[in-house]
C-alpha cells in the first residue's frame, strides 16, 4: 500500500511541478462538470497514474484536474472508484491517501444520494454532519501503517465543524437552501429495499449512498479536515412509488449543477482564504 501511494504521488508531483494545492475535491455521480470551471488547469487521466483504476460508472469521467477556483488552487478527482466495482478498500481510498501525501490539508467529498428525510426533495443539497458505516468493511482493516495515521483514529468529528460552518455560510451568502443530515453508506450496487430504508430511518440516517464513508475514514486517519456535500437525486426506495434508476440520478444531478457549482466554488474560496 505504501508503495502504491508513493508511486502515484511521485507521478502526480512530477506533473505538478511547483504547484501545491491545499484543497482536494472528489466529485460524485453526475457532478463531474464542476472541474470544467477550473482555470489554468492541468489534467491527468487515471489511466496514466500508477495503481489508479479507470472508472467504470457512467457519470465518473476518471481524471485528476488541478487548477484554480476563485484564485485558490485545488486538486479535483473527477470521478471515484467504488467498493461495489470489486476494488479492495485500499484502492478505493488511494486517491485520498495520495492527496494527503501531496500535502493537501482540506478535503471536500461530494456524492449523489437518496433522500430518506421527508423534508428532502430531489435537487436538494445536503451538508453531511455525520455518517453511519454499513459497508461491513473499513479501509483501516489490517495492519496499521503508522506513517499514514494512528491505529485507532478518533471519529467524533468526522466532518469538520469549521469546514461545515464555511459551507453553511457560503450557502447563506448565495441565498441557497443547504440542508444538513446524517449519511448512511451502503456497499451496493443494488439500491436499498424499502425495508432497509425503514431500518436506516430508525437508526438516524437522513440520506443514503454507496460511497464517501471509506474516503472520509481514510482522510480522518491521515489527519485531513473533511466536509461533504450530497446532492439528493431521488427519494429512497419505498418513500415514493418511483422505480430507482441511475439515469434519473444523472438527470437530477445535472439539473442541480449550477447551484452545486456555485456553492462548491464559494466554499473553496472561503476555505482557501
Grid cell digits, residue 192: 436499498
Annotation marks residue 29 as catalytic = yes
Domain count, the chain: 1
Torsion of CA 198, 204, 206, 208, to 10 degrees: -70
Annotation marks residue 112 as catalytic = yes
Annotation marks residue 82 as catalytic = yes
**Banded model confidence at residue 235, pLDDT cuts 50, 70, 90:** confident
**Which pLDDT belongs to residue 22?**
94
E runs forming strands in 58-177:
63-69, 72-78, 106-115, 125-134
* Cα 109–chain centre separation: 3
**Higher per-residue pLDDT: 233 or 218:** 218
Annotation marks residue 234 as catalytic = yes
Q: Which of 85, 145, 157, 269 is catalytic?
A: 85
Range of the domain at 100: 2-272
Annotation marks residue 83 as catalytic = no
Annotation marks residue 47 as catalytic = no
Q: Which of 53, 60, 131, 221 is catalytic?
A: 60
**Which pLDDT belongs to residue 29?**
75
Annotation marks residue 210 as catalytic = yes
| Per-chain mean pLDDT for the chain | 92
Task: Using the predicted structure, report yes or no on whether residue 148 has a pLDDT greater than 70.
Answer: yes
Annotation marks residue 183 as catalytic = no
50-101 pLDDT tens trace: 999 887 766 557 899 999 999 999 999 998 989 999 999 999 999 999 999 9
Beta strands 63-69 and 39-45, pairing class:
antiparallel
State the CATH number of the domain containing residue 21: 3.40.50.1580
Angle, CA of 248, 58 and 26, to the nearest 5°: 100
**Which pLDDT belongs to residue 55?**
78
Q: Worst-scoring range by mean pLDDT, 27-41, 94-108, 109-123, 213-227?
A: 27-41
Amino acid at each position: 500500500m505504501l508503495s502504491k501511494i508513493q508511486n502515484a504521488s511521485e507521478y502526480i508531483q512530477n506533473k505538478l511541478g511547483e504547484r501545491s494545492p491545499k484543497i482536494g475535491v472528489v466529485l460524485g455521480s453526475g457532478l463531474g462538470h464542476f472541474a470544467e470551471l477550473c482555470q489554468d488547469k492541468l489534467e491527468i487521466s487515471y489511466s496514466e497514474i500508477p495503481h489508479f483504476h479507470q472508472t467504470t460508472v457512467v457519470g465518473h469521467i476518471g481524471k485528476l484536474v488541478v487548477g484554480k477556483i476563485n484564485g485558490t488552487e485545488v486538486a479535483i478527482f473527477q470521478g471515484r472508484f467504488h467498493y461495489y466495482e470489486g476494488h479492495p478498500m485500499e484502492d478505493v481510498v488511494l486517491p485520498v491517501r495520495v492527496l494527503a501525501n501531496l500535502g493537501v490539508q482540506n478535503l471536500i467529498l461530494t456524492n449523489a444520494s437518496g433522500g430518506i428525510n421527508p423534508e428532502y426533495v430531489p435537487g436538494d443539497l445536503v451538508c453531511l454532519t455525520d455518517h453511519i458505516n454499513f459497508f461491513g468493511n473499513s479501509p483501516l482493516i489490517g495492519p496499521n501503517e503508522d506513517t499514514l495515521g494512528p491505529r485507532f483514529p478518533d471519529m467524533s468529528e468526522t466532518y469538520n465543524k469549521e469546514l461545515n460552518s464555511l459551507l453553511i455560510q457560503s450557502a447563506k451568502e448565495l441565498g441557497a437552501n443547504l440542508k444538513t443530515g446524517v449519511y448512511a453508506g451502503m456497499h451496493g450496487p443494488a439500491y436499498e429495499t424499502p425495508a432497509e430504508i425503514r431500518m436506516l430511518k430508525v437508526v438516524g440516517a437522513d440520506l443514503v449512498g454507496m460511497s464517501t464513508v471509506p474516503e472520509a475514514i481514510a482522510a480522518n486517519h491521515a489527519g485531513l479536515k473533511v466536509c461533504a456535500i450530497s446532492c439528493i437525486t431521488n427519494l429512497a426506495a419505498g418513500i415514493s412509488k418511483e422505480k430507482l434508476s441511475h439515469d434519473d440520478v444523472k438527470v437530477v444531478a445535472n439539473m442541480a449543477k449550477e447551484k452545486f457549482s456555485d456553492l462548491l466554488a464559494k466554499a473553496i474560496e472561503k476555505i482557501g482564504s
